[in-house]
Structure 1
Amino acid sequence: MNRPPQQTTAEALLRVDRVTAAYGSVTAVDDVSLDIAEGEFFALLGPSGCGKTTLLRTIAGFESPASGDIRLDGVSLLDTPAHRRPVNLMFQSYALFGHLSVEKNIAYGLEAERLPRAAISERVSEIMETIGLTEFAKRRPAQLSGGQRQRVALARALVKRPRLLLLDEPLSALDRKVREEMQLELKRLQHEAGMTFVVVTHDQEEAMSMADRIAVLDRGRLEQLDTPQSLYERPSSRFVAAFIGTANLLDGEATEHGVVLPGLGEVRAAHALAAGGRATLVIRPEDVAVARVPEPQGSSDGAGAEFVGTVIDATFLGGSSTLSVELPGLAAPLRATVHTATSIRRGDRVALSFDPARVVAVPDPRGRATGEPEAPQ
């Protein structure tokens, strides 16, 4: 497998160093290394079962790695029990105490540390005002909406002022509208608190909208660690290309200047792949230029990657239109996004072209060259 380089920096707040974690014979986290900077909003992203929650629980101290090390400010945490780590984990279920009021729920951790009553009252009042809970201070969790309960759980985690706040699928229980509002709220609070957040999510839009950097995991391994923009524009593997955003994935054979697609010819793309090896072209729908043509034409030599096909579906989505185009040699249609209303309709002949600077070629680990694009995801 084409493994990513070890993601380490000298000034990391948290360093995960070649961590492996297993449940019996099942390896949940496989030799993962990454650094998280102080004040960063960091996301662990991947499908169910990829190891992201296990890695989060290992950082928190609820799981022990089979090998590797986890260091905070350069000091190993492995011998420090979970309750003594300067780390707080906000659970997916929120785990609020139903018999306690909002302010009592928030104060619980501080009371367990036996802080002076005046200090507890001051810090609880301050965090309730910051998160917008002051008017709900005397209510119990059952009297709150899902979004309000989420805020209480977040306030309870923030009031202890941990060096690192871990959030396990924090927005999954909320409906779409509230979830979108809370994404903005989390980002605002993270900036205001100046704290380091690490969030686990399977929702790519959630990670892309909140995180400064994202670690994409698959089957326990780190596929790529990068900024949201770089993950989208320059994926390093077929998995990342398919998982992040929508993409046309076309399999073929690498050449010196691009990738040859069976039945179509060469599409130019800069890459460092060995000529003759299996490769996958990643073409985002918005990077496909579309023009109507009066009659069938031959394809070009690939310099502009122009090919002619037939529109089999056209969908107007308000600010853009999505076209599905059937091309000779491809068993599945290629999808293109036009960022305006278009007069192109089903049955029209169109020429498709791709800017080589926007086309990415990645290894095809499945070892086939059919030229068949996967359904965009």
Structure 2
Amino acid sequence: MTTTAPSPLLDIRGVQHSYGDVVALRDVSLSIADREFFALLGPSGCGKTTLLRSIAGFETPQAGSILLDGQDLTALPAHRRPVNMMFQSYALFPHMSVEKNVGYGLEAEGVGKAEIRRRVGETLEIVGLAAFAQRRPAKLSGGQRQRVALARAIIKRPRVLLLDEPLSALDRKVRAEMQLELKRMQHEAGMTFVVVTHDQEEAMSMADRVAVLNRGGIEQLDTPVGLYSRPATRFVASFIGTANLLDGFATGSSSSGSAVDVPGVALFPVSHGFAEREPVTLVARPEDVHIVAPDAAPITGTVIDTFFLGGSSTVSVEVPGLAKPISCTVHAANVAERGQRVGLNFDSSRVVVVANPVEAAVAA
């Protein structure tokens, strides 16, 4: 017996949009499931906010379609879409109490007072502000004001809640706390969240899946673990976390003898599916590079810095032939000293090989 996969809640198909000669979105397609916490991640100008505004109805794509529950939203104005958007600026009414701010949208729609009171109470419980219902925004912290804005957005029970850089106005400590809180609130509200952020830590800690955008297109759509451990492109490898990127050429196309040749450095045995001499990049996370004795490794270098971080240390090793030092994460306080000569072993089962479009363009 075969089962049919459930239809996505939000289905974006071939969306394209430009501002004059500037292409903001290039044939973007992705699907988002019901009650999923989904993140659009990328640097400034990558198209993530344009995509969010297209879902909300504030931008009209020049091509493609956006479907919610199978209904094409493209022709619907923003106020008729079962979607709500929370902006970077919370825009709370300073003369109103928390409960009045949260219930304002329902009151404007003519919802009865008893129903407003009930739903405001439920929503303030979800965001942890029930005890602050009578306070005004000026008496709240930045994190609390952010919760009020979130409560005001979810009280109308949209099918999808869109959040544009929701934590950018908070300081680092409060932002870290709110990352966990947003995930909890999303579960309790039983709602689909789509968040735009340029902060990889936010996306990786909160989202079920992440779409990494670059220059208007999707570089990779995956889980946070997948993006970190199996980057599909050189851009994703460099943008997500810390990575050692060694540019070279694929060699030994057979599965038993494949390797990456980094000229002037070493030949690294690692499986890949690239053609002989195709430009590639070897991606090795710091925790997958191990410091050993100089005569027990394919490459050697000199320790130039050691940073003790508590439970681990980050060691930088300068290797002849490489423009940048190799970064290693070791679980010890004094594993290597500045000026010490060491060997480096790469965990071939964990390193990843991706195409190197920069080198390929130069070769062309």
TM-score, length basis structure 1: 0.91
Secondary structure at the residue paired with 1:357? coil
4+ aligned runs moved over 3 Å, structure 1: none
Alignment match, 2:286: 285
Q: 2: CA distance between counterparts of 1:292 and 1:321?
A: 18
Matches within 5 A, 1:277-316: 277-293=278-294, 297=295, 306-316=298-308
Amino acid in the other structure paired with 1:354? F
Are 2:214 and 1:218 equivalent residues in the alignment?
Answer: yes
- Contact 2:8 2:33 (C-alpha < 8 Å) held by counterparts: yes
Secondary structure at the residue paired with 2:45? coil
Matches within 5 A, 1:160-179: 160-179=156-175
Q: Deviations over 1:103-131 (max 9, x none)?
A: 11101111122111111111001111221
Which one is further off, 349-358 or 209-218? Answer: 349-358
- Contact 1:253 1:279 (C-alpha < 8 Å) held by counterparts: yes
Alignment match, 1:375: none
Q: 2: CA distance between counterparts of 1:334 and 1:368?
A: 23
- Contact 1:56 1:200 (C-alpha < 8 Å) held by counterparts: yes
- Contact 1:309 1:325 (C-alpha < 8 Å) held by counterparts: yes
Alignment match, 1:346: 338
Amino acid in the other structure paired with 1:308? T
Q: 1: CA distance between counterparts of 2:235 and 2:274?
A: 17
Amino acid in the other structure paired with 1:320? S
Alignment match, 1:331: 323
Are 2:349 and 1:357 equivalent residues in the alignment?
Answer: yes
User: 1:369, CA displacement in angstroms?
Assistant: 11
Q: 1: CA distance between counterparts of 2:259 and 2:93?
A: 59
- Contact 2:126 2:188 (C-alpha < 8 Å) held by counterparts: no
Alignment match, 2:8: 12
Q: Deviations over 1:193-224 (max 9, x none)?
A: 11110000000011000000000000111000
Secondary structure at the residue paired with 1:50? coil
Q: 2: CA distance between counterparts of 1:292 and 1:369?
A: 38
Matches within 5 A, 1:47-126: 47-126=43-122
User: 1:308, CA displacement in angstroms?
Assistant: 1.6
- Contact 1:168 1:200 (C-alpha < 8 Å) held by counterparts: yes
Alignment match, 2:23: 27
User: 1:10, CA displacement in angstroms?
Assistant: 5.6
Which residue of the other structure, out of 147, 154, 157, is the alignment partner of 2:153? 157
- Contact 1:253 1:369 (C-alpha < 8 Å) held by counterparts: no
Alignment match, 1:180: 176
Q: Deviations over 1:142-165 (max 9, x none)?
A: 221111100000000111111101
- Contact 2:126 2:189 (C-alpha < 8 Å) held by counterparts: no
Secondary structure at the residue paired with 2:185? helix
- Contact 2:11 2:30 (C-alpha < 8 Å) held by counterparts: yes
Alignment match, 2:39: 43
Q: 1: CA distance between counterparts of 2:106 and 2:275?
A: 58
Closer, same or farther in 2 for the Cα pair 1:343/1:27, shift >3 Å?
A: closer
- Contact 1:251 1:369 (C-alpha < 8 Å) held by counterparts: no
Q: How many residue pairs get matched?
A: 353
The CA RMSD over aligned residues, in Å, is: 1.6
Alignment match, 2:234: 238
Alignment match, 1:373: none
Q: 2: CA distance between counterparts of 1:81 and 1:368?
A: 44
Q: Deviations over 1:281-325 (max 9, x none)?
A: 1111110011234xxx4x86xxxxx31221121221111111111
Alignment match, 2:142: 146
Amino acid in the other structure paired with 1:338? V
Closer, same or farther in 2 for the Cα pair 1:243/1:258, shift >3 Å?
A: same
Q: 1: CA distance between counterparts of 2:158 and 2:105?
A: 12
User: 1:258, CA displacement in angstroms?
Assistant: 2.2
Q: 2: CA distance between counterparts of 1:258 and 1:212?
A: 34
Q: 2: CA distance between counterparts of 1:189 and 1:316?
A: 36
Matches within 5 A, 1:251-290: 251-255=247-251, 256=253, 257-290=258-291
Q: 2: CA distance between counterparts of 1:143 and 1:158?
A: 22
Secondary structure at the residue paired with 2:339? coil
Secondary structure at the residue paired with 1:186? helix
Amino acid in the other structure paired with 1:68? G
User: 1:368, CA displacement in angstroms?
Assistant: 6.2
Closer, same or farther in 2 for the Cα pair 1:154/1:262, shift >3 Å?
A: same
- Contact 1:251 1:368 (C-alpha < 8 Å) held by counterparts: no
- Contact 2:266 2:299 (C-alpha < 8 Å) held by counterparts: no
- Contact 2:13 2:64 (C-alpha < 8 Å) held by counterparts: yes
Q: 2: CA distance between counterparts of 1:39 and 1:327?
A: 47
Q: 1: CA distance between counterparts of 2:259 and 2:210?
A: 28
- Contact 1:292 1:344 (C-alpha < 8 Å) held by counterparts: no
User: 1:71, CA displacement in angstroms?
Assistant: 0.1
Q: 1: CA distance between counterparts of 2:103 and 2:306?
A: 56
Secondary structure at the residue paired with 1:366? helix
Secondary structure at the residue paired with 2:123? helix
User: 1:340, CA displacement in angstroms?
Assistant: 2.0
Q: 2: CA distance between counterparts of 1:272 and 1:200?
A: 33
Q: 1: CA distance between counterparts of 2:123 and 2:219?
A: 37
Which stretches in structure 1 are left out of the alignment for 5+ residues?
Answer: 1-8, 301-305, 371-377
